């Protein structure tokens, strides 16, 4: 069975490498289908590459070749990836992808085209890189209502926060190391502002709720405002700060879906997920908690998930797999500001005694935090549960203190 790979960057070249090197191993797992990479689409030249005869710059070579049954899209971005994917699906070719931006924003349209033409559109590599997450979620856990997913779904931000926590580096210093190591892009916005994690939790939430969750509806905050003071205060209450992607089914059937830095107890299974690793804690009503952990990015780890999809397509050429979701239910995502939670708050104050009195009379019970080297004009504490609307109103009403930092307490 012939395969085409669109995009010969980190992931695409990994896919070609795995198919070439694991040839007989894969054959045993594909009902004796022989997988061969016939085309590699990329506008760049790769002189001296061992796959030299397979490169094309013309997408039509792939589209018009009926012997190509499976296409791996590893181009990234929405255009032209959407157009190429739609055309391949409509031509009766299965498409697999690692492209979280495309899947989260326009996956619904592509899934509909795939269904119409009885082919597969698979995207295991789009969330958690090499971690098997999508199939376990929708197939192995099919006997459960998924009550919540809490994940560390971005390796770059987890690397930066780990450096801040354990090496006392500032955000800027840790980001520079992440860039020097090739984890963070030159323009790190998609990672550090939580956009990449938002796309991933949107995909998982769409699968868990069986309704498309538009990433635009997911409240998203990044980690750029996290300081070493916050890290130290979190440590004082046996917690760490992580960028947590949360989806939780509320009692009224709607979903709380937020990406933001969060204060995570060291007792949480997510607290020990460090460096570039990813992890997801999925809670089902029958199975309880299940944790997935592994490499969320990287050439061969991500390509491993793409090749898994290719093998699945080869094994389900005639009977397509049911992976996907229904149309958007516009009322499904709850207003995050109306859902009760606990918060970490750091304030600058003029008169510590006066400020503490005002804070206690407004917030009721608080848990005061300490850190070495803090001036007495700084106050940090954890609140009890309030909706975010309530807590913001309380902060705005303070006359003796100015907000310096506000971080949600994780729900896991």
Task: Return the range that interacts with ligand HSE (CB under 6 A); candidates 28-36, 139-147, 148-156, 338-346.
Answer: 148-156
> At closest approach, how far in Å is the CB of 77 from ligand HSE?
13
- Minimum distance from CB of 298 to ligand HSE (Å)? 8
Of 38, 54, 100, 200, catalytic: 200
Find the shortest distance in angstroms from Cβ 180 to ligand HSE. Answer: 15
Nearer to ligand HSE, 54 or 199 (CB): 199
* Binding flag, residue 308, ligand HSE (CB under 6 A): no
Question: Is 294 or 324 the residue whose CB approaches ligand HSE more closely?
Answer: 294
| Kind of pairing between the strands at 366-369 and 378-383 | antiparallel
Stretch that binds ligand HSE, among 41-49, 154-162, 233-241, 339-347 (CB under 6 A): 154-162
Name which of 247, 172, 259 is nearest 221 in CA terms: 259
Shorter beta-carbon distance to ligand HSE: residue 28 or 180 = 180
* Position 191 contacts ligand HSE (CB under 6 A): yes
Question: Residue 297 interacts with ligand HSE (CB under 6 A)?
Answer: yes
Residue 410 DSSP code: P
How many Cβ atoms sit within 10 Å of the Cβ of residue 326?
Answer: 12
Report d(CA 293, CA 273) in Å as an integer: 8
Conformational region of residue 362, where left means phi above 0, alpha means psi within -120 to 50, and beta covers everything else: alpha
> Least distance (Å) from ligand HSE to the CB of residue 155?
4
CA distance 71 to 6: 7
* Nearer to ligand HSE (CB atom), residue 63 or residue 195: 195
Residue 200 a catalytic site member: yes
Residue with tokens 């090197």: 21
Kindly write out the interface string for residues 88-127 of this chain, putting x where it contacts ligand HSE by CB under 6 A and - elsewhere.
----------------------------------------
Site membership for ligand HSE, residue 196 (CB under 6 A): yes
Sign of the alpha-carbon torsion through 184, 185, 188, 192: negative
Would you call 222 helix, strand, or coil by DSSP?
Answer: coil
Q: Which of 151, 155, 215, 279 lies at the binding interface for ligand HSE (CB under 6 A)?
A: 155
Cβ 73 to ligand HSE shortest distance, Å: 15
The C-alpha atoms of residue 346 and residue 359 are separated, in whole angstroms, by: 12
Q: Are strands 94-97 and 255-265 parallel, antiparallel or unpaired?
A: unpaired
Task: Provide the minimum distance between the beta carbon of 274 and ligand HSE in the complex, in angstroms, as a whole number.
Answer: 14
Q: How many residues bind ligand HSE (CB under 6 A)?
A: 8
296 contacts ligand HSE (rule: CB under 6 A): yes
State the Cα–Cα distance between residues 278 and 255, nearest whole angstrom.
Answer: 23
Residue 19 neighbours by CB under 8 Å, 6+ apart = 3, 26, 35, 36, 37, 307, 310
Work out the end-to-end distance of the chain between its first and last CA atoms, rounded to an integer number of angstroms.
Answer: 44
Query: 394 near 329, Cβ under 8 Å?
Result: no
Which pair of structure tokens corresponds to residue 22?
């694991």
**What does R_g of the chain's alpha carbons equal in angstroms?**
23
Piece in contact with ligand HSE (CB under 6 A), picked from 24-32, 63-71, 150-158, 364-372? 150-158
155 or 215: whose CB is closer to ligand HSE? 155
Residues 229-248 that bind ligand HSE (CB under 6 A): none
Among 2, 13, 85, 154, binds ligand HSE (CB under 6 A): 154
Stretch that binds ligand HSE, among 66-74, 101-109, 153-161, 227-235 (CB under 6 A): 153-161
The sign of the CA dihedral 136, 120, 77, 209 is negative
Which residues are at the interface with ligand HSE (CB under 6 A)?
129, 154-156, 191, 196, 296-297
Catalytic residues: 200
């Amino acid at each position: 069975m012939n395969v085409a790979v669109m995009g010969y960057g980190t992931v695409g070249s990994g896919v070609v490498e795995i198919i070439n090197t694991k040839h007989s191993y894969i054959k045993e797992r594909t009902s004796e289908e022989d997988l061969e990479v016939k085309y590699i689409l990329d506008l760049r030249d790769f002189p001296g590459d061992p796959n030299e005869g397979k490169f094309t710059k013309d997408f039509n070579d792939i589209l018009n070749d009926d012997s190509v049954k499976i296409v791996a899209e590893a181009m990234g971005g929405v255009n032209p990836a959407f157009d190429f994917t739609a055309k391949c699906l409509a031509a009766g070719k299965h498409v697999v992808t690692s492209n979280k931006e495309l899947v989260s924003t326009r996956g619904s349209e592509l899934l509909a085209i795939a269904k119409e033409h009885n082919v597969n559109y698979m995207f295991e590599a789009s969330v958690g890189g090499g971690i098997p997450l999508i199939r376990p979620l929708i197939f192995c856990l099919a006997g459960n209502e998924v009550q919540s997913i809490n994940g560390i779904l971005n390796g770059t931000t987890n690397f930066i926060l780990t450096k801040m926590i354990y090496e006392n580096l500032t955000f800027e210093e840790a980001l520079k190391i992440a860039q020097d190591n090739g984890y963070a892009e030159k323009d790190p916005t998609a990672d550090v502002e939580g956009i990449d994690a938002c796309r991933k939790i949107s995909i998982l939430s769409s699968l868990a709720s069986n309704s498309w969750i538009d990433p635009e509806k997911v409240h998203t905050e990044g980690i750029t405002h996290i300081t070493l003071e916050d890290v130290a205060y979190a440590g004082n209450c046996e917690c760490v700060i992580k960028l947590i992607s949360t989806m939780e089914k509320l009692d009224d059937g709607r979903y709380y879906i937020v990406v933001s830095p969060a204060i995570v107890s060291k007792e949480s299974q997510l607290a020990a997920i460090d460096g570039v690793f990813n992890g997801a804690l999925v809670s089902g009503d029958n199975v309880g908690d299940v944790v997935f952990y592994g490499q969320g990015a990287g050439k061969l780890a991500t390509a491993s998930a793409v090749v898994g999809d290719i093998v699945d397509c080869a094994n389900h050429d005639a009977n397509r797999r049911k992976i996907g979701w229904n149309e958007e239910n516009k009322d499904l995502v709850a207003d995050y500001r109306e859902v009760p939670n606990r918060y970490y708050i750091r304030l600058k104050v003029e008169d510590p005694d006066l400020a503490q009195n005002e804070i206690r009379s407004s917030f009721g019970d608080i848990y005061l935090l300490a850190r070495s080297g803090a001036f007495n004009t700084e106050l940090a504490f954890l609140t009890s549960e309030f909706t975010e609307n309530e807590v913001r109103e309380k902060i705005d009403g303070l006359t003796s203190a100015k907000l310096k930092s506000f971080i949600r307490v994780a729900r896991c």
